[in-house]
Structure formats: structure tokens, C-alpha cells
Chain A
Amino acid sequence: MVLEYLANGLVFSSIIVLGSIGLSLVYSIADFANFAHGDTMTVGAYAALVTFGAVGGLGGAVLGLPYGFFLALLVGIAAAAVVAVATEKLVYESIDTDSIGLLITSIGIAFIYRAVIQIRFGADFTRFGVGTLRPIEWLIPYGIRVTQHDVAIVVSAVVLVTGLHVLLQYTDLGRKMRAMADNPDLARVSGIRTRRVTLWMWVIGAGLAGAGGVFLGLFNQLSPRMGFNLLLVIFAAVILGGIGSVYGAMLGGFLIGMINQMMPLVSDLTDALPLVPSVGIEYANAVAFLIMVAVLLVRPNGIAGEAT
């Protein structure tokens, strides 16, 4: 049973990590909390849905997913990146305001994204037409009931996060991004063309969010509120890890995702203990936030504690 919760936690954490990285990147470089980030995930998911509808039957399959799904994933990543960059150029960059003003603006942008999606696709839940898979047979005796789709989510997330790590540590762009997150004024003084780096940050952060949205739709289902509903959990992950730190966001996303999916265990535990009120799985987000607050009381800057 514990192994199954851990496996589900790993899948959900993969999605939260992808969302958290983008939010943290935007915070560290653009210096505001982007409340449209969850809806950027939704944009990616729906762009992939449309693409998959057009190319769904393309070629063979990997881990139970047709090649067309991976093409749709790339389109979802690209669409989220394009929408985010367009928003940055047309809105955030044009507005002469501080980080609070940008935060409020981003709430408005989130409403706009959601409204456009709802007008086009309606408010109902929908799914990718990839079929439902049986759990992987050889894992069932160990009490783990995960499908090949779940494995695909984890593997894809690991590939994307590893790619980001390589980019940050071993490329000029990555070093510039880390330098800007560390000290934007010194970055300009050093000759870094900060606007270009900021645009790349939007591309990467929103692209990862788009991927997270696609996987969230695969893990669960799609709806216009899917990203928004996850936003507070992603914020919790980013703050827990250390706001502004990409690696902290990865760690925070992993922990929050795990905590969320381990809730049935906590529920069983509280049911079994006398004098302790039962904590149902519907309180998963509350427990995640409680743990976040507890960690912040001990480490006010989050687990990672410093910029990227």
C-alpha cells in the first residue's frame, strides 16, 4: 500500500515539479509572483488536446502513448511558451509598475486565459483520447498499481528536468540566467543583455508549465480550471523549496506532490489513533500548506534558501 502511494506521489510530484520550476524562474528573473502560471499550464494542455485530436493516430506507441501524443506534447510546450512570451512583450513589459502591480496584472491575465479556453472548449471535463490502460502486471504483486502512462509522465519529467539542469549549469544561457537571478543589476553591468535572457526564461518556464499541464491532463483530466486549481499547491512548493531557487522549486515540488498523494496513509493513521481527529484525504492541500508553514518557521527562506 505504501509503495503504491509513493508511486502515485512520484507521478504527481513530476507534474508539480514542472509547474514549480517555471513559477520560480519567473520570480527569480522577472521579480514577481505570476498568478497566470497555472493557467499557462492549462494553455499547454488544451493546445496538446487540439493537436492530439488532429494527429492522434500517428505512428506507433511508446509506454502506451501514440507518437502523436508526444507531438501534441511538443505543441503544448510551444503554445504555452508563445503565449507567455506574447504576454510578457505585450503586457508585463509595457506596464510601468512594481512587482505588486505585475502580480495583480497576472491575476487578470489568468482570468483572460481561462475565459478564452472556456469559450472555445466549454467548462466540462475532457480527456486525451489515449484509452485507459491496465496497471503494469509485474508491479501488482508489490502493491503498486501504476500504468505505462504514469511511467511516461515520470520519465518525461526527469528528461525535462535533467535538460534544464544541463542548460543551467553547462551553457552560457544557463549561466546568464543564474547570474540574473543572483544579481540583475550586476548582470547588466557585466554586459548581459538582460531582456534576451528574460525572454528565454519565459520560454523555458512557460514551456515546462505547458508540459506539466499536458501531463496533468493525462494523469487526471482536462478542464479550464485545471491549472488554476493547482496553482496554490505550486506556490506552496516554490515557497517550501525557497522562492527564487530553481533547485529549491524542484525539491519543494517533489515534497509537496508526495505529501499530497501520501494523504490516504495519514488518513489511515489518524483513524487508527485514539483522541486524534480523523484527517480525510480531502485535506491534502491543507496538510501540505501546514507542513510548508512549519518548515518556514524553522527555515524562513525555504529549504534551499538562496537564489538559483
Chain B
Amino acid sequence: MSDAPDADGDADAADAGAADVAEPTHPGETVLALSEVDSGYGEVQVLDDLSLHLDAGEIVCLVGPNGAGKSTVLKTAFGMLEPWTGTVTYHGREIGGMAPEEIVREGIGYVPQTDNVFGSLSIDENLRMGGVAREEGLDDVIARLYERFPILDEKRGAKARTLSGGQRQVLAFARALVMEPDVLLIDEPSAGLAPNTADDVFENVQQVNDMDTAILMVEQNVTKGLDIADRGYVLDQGTVRFEGTGEELLADDEVSELYLGG
């Protein structure tokens, strides 16, 4: 995160809780869009004139070979990397270069691939950390999340480091959902999980989507990822090579041969 914009604690203090509840969305409305974005790490360019969008209520899956720039898309959208050129808009408003802690307040959540829970904090404390930007309703939303994810309720006092990989992933989702975002960015949710646990995680992704949260997800498990997605983008060398519905991409011979391992 070395290239992240500053964590300026003084910025927009008055707006701190302004976006406690994300803006209402309408079916088909584009909530998040990257347009002609170049981005990267230090001097190394990863994204090259990349454009994609996420509509309200969708699950969109980014797939492609290692190094294609999938995770970089999420980091650029979430403010951990500043776009070199191009725009990142949320509900039509430019958010490119905004710091992550401010983007959270806008209504976007992010679940990193690794280190996505506070291991030394209890489950309850993890959820409270997910809601630091809320001004009200924190206890209510956490109570609803406990209802939705009973495994967390059972272990609410336990340190997060004691959870299994799948349970950690559930906690990571729940932490990101405390702000009730209307967009959730998820980086490889099934990475490192046993197949049956990964199935549970994909089920959770769909559950989260059912809560009217649009999801932009990077996933190595192409078949599973595209299977639950409304649309997908195939990335290669930092740009979009193919796009379509999950079914279309899975059925496309060229896509399958070149990017999805045959």
C-alpha cells in the first residue's frame, strides 16, 4: 500500500458519517466505473487503458492469467493505488485518488485476499472495526450480521486468529458489510481454501449479493467465479481482452483456450 494516497485524518471530518447508508441504487444503474485507467506500483505500470463497469446488484468476476492486473483493478478502485490516468467513478462521482478510509465512507467495501481479519482482536471487535465510520446503528447491523452468519455469533468472543480459513473469510465479508456498502470488492475469496470450504465461500458471496450489494470479484477459480457471476471480464496484460456474461465466457473456445486453461 505504499502508493496509497495519504491517510489524512483531518480530511472531510464533517463528512465522516455522511454515508452511513450507501446511496440508493436502481437496477441497471452503473455504480462503479473505471475508464481508460493506467495504474501500477511505483514505476511499474500494470493497468493499461483499462475500462470496466459494475452495475447495481451485479456480480462481476475478473479472471485472467497471473499478473494480468486483476487485483490491481480492485486496489485502484479502492484508493490503495492512485490512477495515473483515467477516471474511477462511483455513482458518477470521481473517487480516483481518494484514500481508502474515505472511500469506505462513500459506500464501497473491500475484502483483501490475505490478512483480511485482525487476528489479535475478537470477532466482535473485528466487526466493530468494520463500522468505525458509522455514526449510528452499529449494534443493530452487527446483530443482523450475527443472524446471517451464525458461526460468527457462536464465536464472537474468540480471537480471529483461532478461526479456520473459511471462517476467516466469512468474518472478512462480515467486517466489510458492517458499513452496508452497495459495492463490495473481493479479492480471490477462495484462495487457499479446501474445495468444499470454497463452495461455502461462493455461497456467501451470493448471499451478500442478495443483500443488494453489487460485487466486483477477482477469482482464480474461473469456473466457479464465472458460474455465480452475472458478467465477467477477462484481463490480460493490464487491459480487458474479453467481456460477456459468465455463461458466454465459459462457452467461448478462444477465451477458454487462451486464458482459462483450456
Pair A179/B121 contact, Cβ less than 8 Å:
yes
Q: How far is the CA of A181 from the CA of B120 in the complex (A)?
A: 9
Which of A172, A179, A193, A195 has its CB near the most chain B CB atoms (within 10 A)?
A193
Within 8 A of B (CB), among A110-169: none
Interface residues on B, range: 20 to 34
Are A176 and B129 CB-contacts (below 8 A) given A190-B104, A307-B120?
A: yes
In the complex, the chain B residue whose C-beta lies closest to that of A199 is: B9
User: B116 within 8 Å of A by Cβ?
Assistant: yes
For B96-109 the 0/1 string (1 means CB < 8 A from A) is 00011100110000
Pair B9/A193 contact, Cβ less than 8 Å:
yes
CB distance from A104 to the nearest CB of B (A): 20
Extra contacts besides A186-B118, A196-B9, A196-B10 (20): CB < 8 Å? A175-B121, A175-B128, A176-B129, A176-B132, A185-B80, A185-B112, A186-B115, A186-B116, A187-B129, A188-B101, A190-B132, A190-B175, A191-B104, A191-B132, A191-B133, A192-B132, A193-B9, A194-B7, A195-B7, A308-B120
Pair A195/B121 contact, Cβ less than 8 Å:
no
In the complex, the chain B residue whose C-beta lies closest to that of A308 is: B120
Are A193 and B7 CB-contacts (below 8 A) given A175-B128, A182-B119?
A: yes
Select A192's contact among B101, B116, B117, B121, beta carbons within 8 Å.
B101
Pair A188/B100 contact, Cβ less than 8 Å:
yes
Pair B101/A193 contact, Cβ less than 8 Å:
yes
Which of B115, B118, B175, B179 has its CB near the most chain A CB atoms (within 10 A)?
B118
User: B125 within 8 Å of A by Cβ?
Assistant: yes
CB distance from B18 to the nearest CB of A (A): 13
Contacts of A190 in B (CB 8 A): 101, 104, 129-130, 132, 175
Select B1's contact among A172, A179, A188, A193, beta carbons within 8 Å.
A188
In the complex, the chain A residue whose C-beta lies closest to that of B130 is: A190
Pair A189/B132 contact, Cβ less than 8 Å:
no
Q: How far is the CA of A187 from the CA of B175 in the complex (A)?
A: 11
User: A178 within 8 Å of B by Cβ?
Assistant: yes
User: B233 within 8 Å of A by Cβ?
Assistant: no
In the complex, the chain B residue whose C-beta lies closest to that of A175 is: B125
Pair B9/A195 contact, Cβ less than 8 Å:
yes
Q: How far is the CA of A181 from the CA of B121 in the complex (A)?
A: 11
Q: Which 8 A-B pairs have the closest CB atoms?
A: A196-B9, A191-B104, A193-B9, A195-B9, A191-B133, A194-B7, A182-B118, A188-B100
Q: How far is the CA of A199 from the CA of B120 in the complex (A)?
A: 22
Pair B112/A186 contact, Cβ less than 8 Å:
yes
22 contacts between A and B (CB under 8 A): A172-B132, A175-B121, A175-B125, A176-B132, A178-B120, A182-B119, A182-B121, A185-B1, A186-B115, A186-B117, A187-B129, A189-B100, A189-B110, A190-B130, A190-B132, A191-B104, A191-B131, A191-B132, A192-B132, A193-B9, A193-B101, A306-B119
CB distance from B132 to the nearest CB of A (A): 5
How many residue pairs link A and B with beta carbons under 8 A? The number is: 86
User: B163 within 8 Å of A by Cβ?
Assistant: no
Q: Is the interface of A mostly helix, strand, loop or mixed?
A: helix
User: A278 within 8 Å of B by Cβ?
Assistant: no
In the complex, the chain B residue whose C-beta lies closest to that of A98 is: B2
Which of A189, A191, A306 has its CB near the most chain B CB atoms (within 10 A)?
A189
Contacts of A194 in B (CB 8 A): 7, 9, 101
User: A183 within 8 Å of B by Cβ?
Assistant: yes
User: B78 within 8 Å of A by Cβ?
Assistant: yes
In the complex, the chain B residue whose C-beta lies closest to that of A200 is: B9
User: B191 within 8 Å of A by Cβ?
Assistant: no
In the complex, the chain A residue whose C-beta lies closest to that of B116 is: A186
User: B8 within 8 Å of A by Cβ?
Assistant: yes
Select B78's contact among A175, A189, A199, beta carbons within 8 Å.
A189
Select A191's contact among B105, B116, B120, beta carbons within 8 Å.
B105
Pair A183/B7 contact, Cβ less than 8 Å:
no
Contacts of A307 in B (CB 8 A): 120
In the complex, the chain B residue whose C-beta lies closest to that of A172 is: B132
CB distance from A295 to the nearest CB of B (A): 21
Contacts of A176 in B (CB 8 A): 129, 132
User: B21 within 8 Å of A by Cβ?
Assistant: no
